[in-house]
Structure 1
Amino acid sequence: MSEFSWLLKEEAEAIRTTKEEIGHSPRFFNKDKRVTRLYLTNSNIMELRPLRKLTTLRVLNLVNTAVADISPLSRLRNLQKLNLEWMCVSDASPLRSLRNLCELNLSATKIKNISPLQNLTNLQILDFSSTSVSDITPLRKLKKLRELYLQNTNITDLSPLEEIPNLSYLDIQWTGIPISNKTLQLLEEGILRLFPEVEAGMLRDRE
């Protein structure tokens, strides 16, 4: 019996190829002979092309891998959760086709431009903390967004968030955003949930 024989042929081939590259069997879950969740955190993977065959993948975790080219992910249109934290990724354009994404983590990547995300209208949780992103204008179309993590970025203008009705959690610690009455008025009461050190600064500014 061949390895991963309980999977469909193409899916088994993708998992075998990935195993050969990283040196051990990857952690994954399957349903009806198809891979639905794949976790490659802290692995040696550098090439994502074999993953193009995993078209029913719902969850993919690539945290702290050496992958720089994420273009093969553009075919994984059933993805709902994608974690690219601590990767060398600088181009978000391959993500524009992933319309089913609900959660996306781009923190500690090299991404500066988030305009490719503007049509990912199912996004509910988005994290691009510790990046060089400075303009969040593309986010105004993401009406389902509930949680947004902006800490340690170059963002200074929150006004695009006025158009996001469901936003309930916003982290802006270690940004250039002034914590003042004007800032608070941009958002509905209760949206801005800050960490203790930022809350202290907010109180000083409002005195």
Structure 2
Amino acid sequence: MLEVNGLQAGYGQARVVHEVSLTVKPGEVLSLVGRNGVGKTTSLKALMGLVDVFAGRVSVGGQATGAMTPARACRLGIGYVSQQREVCPDLSVEQNLMLPLVANRLPTAALESVYTRFGRLAERRRQIAGSLSGGERKLLAFARIMLLQPSIYLIDEPTEGLMPKAVEEVGSLITNLAAGGACVVLVEQNLPLVRAISTRVGLMNNGRLEATVQTLGAREAEQYLGV
């Protein structure tokens, strides 16, 4: 379980997140929605130790994490799929997948489980990652994180720029991760997807998580997203 209390974070003197508290249990998908610039991405980055954290307490499985760094987050079972499709474009698909295994001294036999789950990546294992479609690069980014078997996934704008078929595929993948017992915190602007796969929806405004609702209704969408 992921618990966050009173998170405040930003960049140097610029405080972007003023007050975020949330709890995500295994099997849940908590989606954070709000206009651009309200602190959704910064909140995820704060949980990974990628920005300055000024205050707050984060617990994983009931244990306080203390000061966070990306390496510590990884050891605690937190996986981060960033908004940018963070793959190494000049390396092959298989070389990309090997990176987290080699860096963490894990057996490379785990690649076969990825190829079984993602048939397209198996077909393209020798292909340069930069030549993949947007949807395929996103699947590769997910697969790299999944090799580390995190219990918590922080996922930022996974469907941005993707074709409808790829959006559906990413949505099914996130649903399956939660069904397998993972805690998922999702930042997403695709409202039909948010409504389809979220257990709860957090409404963010001006660096604060102002409310959490079971479903994103028309009133909340208009108030917090202007749509």
Same-fold status (TM-score > 0.5)? no
Greater percentage in strand: 2
Q: Whose relative contact order is higher, 1 or 2, with alpha carbons under 8 Å and at least 6 apart?
A: 2
Which one has the largest radius of gyration?
Answer: 1
TM-score (norm 1): 0.30
